[in-house]
Chains A and B, each alone.
Chain A
Amino acid sequence: MICTAFLLAVLGWHYTTFSLAQPNGYRAAVEAPESMEGAPLLFPLWEVTHIRGASVYEISKTVRGVAVHGSSEGLSVGDTVTVKGQFRARDQAVIETERIDHPFRRLKGLLSIIGLLLGAVLCPRFFGWQSGRVVLRG
């Protein structure tokens, strides 16, 4: 069990290293901006955290406050968007080529919270604890 838990931790660390080094990731672009000029970037399901104006807004997820140059029409702080764009080394900004809005993301989140609560309520109906082990009920 200890070996399995250790393997899972190693897998998590390995994935983190792998993910941060992705060439289509913003973090990789910022580390070598000149060589990444014009590189295509993908920001799936990022949160809009600031609207600077009609043509610039900021998104955040694993990196905070990434400036995106593109129309902010119809956007509000807190919205979830997927942004495809190109990296601009000069100001480390993203020039948006496509923006996909996710208007049902909050509803999806709400349904998940309902699911979690339902699971927490129903859990004792189906699982119990006896002599240091989980036991099945019903």
Chain B
Amino acid sequence: MGDLLTHGAAAVLLKVGVRGRFIPVFVLGTVMPDLCSRVPAIGLGYVHVHLARVSPFFTHGWQPFHQPVGLVLLAFLTCFLFQETVRASVFWNLLGGMALHLGLDVLQSHHGAGYLLGFPFSDFAWELGVIGSEATVGWAIPLSLLAWFVYRYRASQP
């Protein structure tokens, strides 16, 4: 979840780079895995550690929102919030953003924990592990500013 800024910025840069439409939806898809899995897990985890015991379902059960099968279901569910005319585009853009998120996440190393990309069909945990899990901290602000300027420049073009 600590990569919300870098994920969002990468999504903007990618979409602007390919001159794609539905940029906000794509960005939403990029941040949704962390918003729906990490935010509640960290929040309830804090309650569990410091305040009161919380059922394991509420500390572990959010993880499928950070796995491909769960994310396809989440994108499907979310696109129904939008008007029917844009629903298919919203679904594919959400899914594209989610794929970008997972693609960036698997670059990280969690010292053997890995990501269960095939769950519930496979329990094989995997990650490329080419960068540390905090390696993006230094990039977050510059990348976000770059994304903002690039987005504004694109918006100003006819």
A-contacting residues, B53-112, CB 8 Å: 53, 56-57, 59-65, 69-70, 73-74, 76-77, 80-83, 86, 110-112
A133 near B49: Cβ-Cβ < 8 Å: no
Q: Which of A31-39, A68-76, A87-95, A100-108 is found at the contact surface with chain B?
A: A100-108
B5 near A114: Cβ-Cβ < 8 Å: yes
Among A4, A16, A112, contact of B2 (Cβ-Cβ < 8 Å) = A112
Cross-chain pair count, CB within 8 angstroms: 128
> Is chain A's binding surface mostly helix, strand, loop or mixed?
helix
**What residues on B are CB-neighbors of A82 within 8 Å?**
110-111
B-contacting residues, A1-27, CB 8 Å: 1, 4-5, 7-9, 11-16, 18-20
A-contacting residues, B1-59, CB 8 Å: 1-5, 8, 22, 24-25, 31, 34, 39, 45, 48-49, 53, 56-57, 59
Among B3, B45, B60, contact of A20 (Cβ-Cβ < 8 Å) = B60
Among B86, B119, B140, contact of A111 (Cβ-Cβ < 8 Å) = B140
Q: How far is the CB of B141 from chain A (nearest CB, A)?
A: 8
B113 near A44: Cβ-Cβ < 8 Å: yes
Among B39, B61, B86, B120, contact of A136 (Cβ-Cβ < 8 Å) = B86
Interface flags for A43-57 (1: CB within 8 Å of B; 0: not) read: 011010100000000
Q: How far is the CB of B3 from chain A (nearest CB, A)?
A: 8
A42 near B113: Cβ-Cβ < 8 Å: yes
B123 near A18: Cβ-Cβ < 8 Å: yes
Tier of interface size on chain B: 35 or more
Among A8, A9, A45, A47, contact of B133 (Cβ-Cβ < 8 Å) = A45
Among B1, B62, B119, contact of A112 (Cβ-Cβ < 8 Å) = B1
Check if B131 is an interface residue, CB within 8 A of chain A.
no
B110 near A44: Cβ-Cβ < 8 Å: yes
Q: How far is the CB of B142 from chain A (nearest CB, A)?
A: 12
Complex Cα gap A111–B39 (Å): 13
A111 near B4: Cβ-Cβ < 8 Å: yes
**What residues on B are CB-neighbors of A44 within 8 Å?**
110-113
B134 near A13: Cβ-Cβ < 8 Å: no
CB closest residue in chain B, given A98: B111
Closest 3 CB pairs of A and B: A108-B2, A115-B4, A12-B61
Pairs A–B under 8 Å by Cβ, sample size 26 = A1-B80, A4-B73, A8-B65, A8-B70, A9-B61, A12-B64, A15-B64, A18-B123, A44-B113, A47-B49, A64-B49, A64-B53, A105-B134, A107-B134, A108-B134, A108-B137, A111-B4, A111-B5, A114-B5, A116-B4, A118-B5, A126-B24, A133-B83, A136-B24, A136-B25, A136-B82
